[in-house]
Amino acid sequence: MNSNISNGFYIWGQFDIASTELISFLQREVNNELQGPEFDAHLTLTGPVNYELDICKNLLEELCKRFSEFSVSLDGIDFKDKFFQAFFLRVLFSKELEALKLATDQSFGLSPKEYFPHISLYYGSALQSQKKECSRSLLPPTSVLLNKISLVKIHEDIDEWDIIQTFSL
């Protein structure tokens, strides 16, 4: 696989049922055309985190008590020449998302680093021209509702990614 992801626990923001269904529909449309792997709809908050599983769960349970669900504003579709940022919904970085990201990093003792919030629709190495053509028929939403945080075990093989536990905001 053409990727540079580290194995370990990652923290994802995830969405209400309606938002998840919409994102999943877009993922299926893109993957029917570009033949990428299947994966759960998410917005990565941070990772990898190097804590024991029970400590991760406790930290996330406490973190989620401090936040409520919030709307994530989106700004269309974009693509990059990076496997895990190949085709995605652009996320507008709001005060709510910034606060959640900062609190998540602080909870896990992580130093702030460059953050590129996005919701992937496709992982892979399709040509820019293929991605542009595919995007023409899609109607992206203008917002989604982030209402939970998930602890996810990431492996190099996307098929082995495993959502360990989900916590409601």
**Tell me, what's the pLDDT at 7?**
77
**Tell me, what's the pLDDT at 155?**
87
Residue 4 has pLDDT above 90, yes or no: no
Q: Is 160 exposed, middle or buried (0-12, 13-18, 19+ CB in 10 A)?
A: exposed
Q: Any idea where the domains of the chain sit in the sequence?
A: 8-168
Topology of the domain comprising 8-168: Cyclic Phosphodiesterase; Chain: A, (3.90.1140)
Q: What is the pLDDT of residues 77-136, one digit of tens each?
A: 999 999 999 999 999 999 999 999 999 999 999 988 889 999 999 999 999 999 999 999
Contact 166, 148 (CB under 8 A): yes
Q: What is the pLDDT of residues 123-168, one digit of tens each?
A: 999 999 999 999 999 999 999 999 999 999 998 889 999 999 999 9
**Tell me, what's the pLDDT at 2?**
37
Residue 30 has pLDDT above 70, yes or no: yes
What are the two backbone dihedrals, phi and then psi, of residue 100, each rounded to the nearest 5 degrees?
Answer: -65, -45
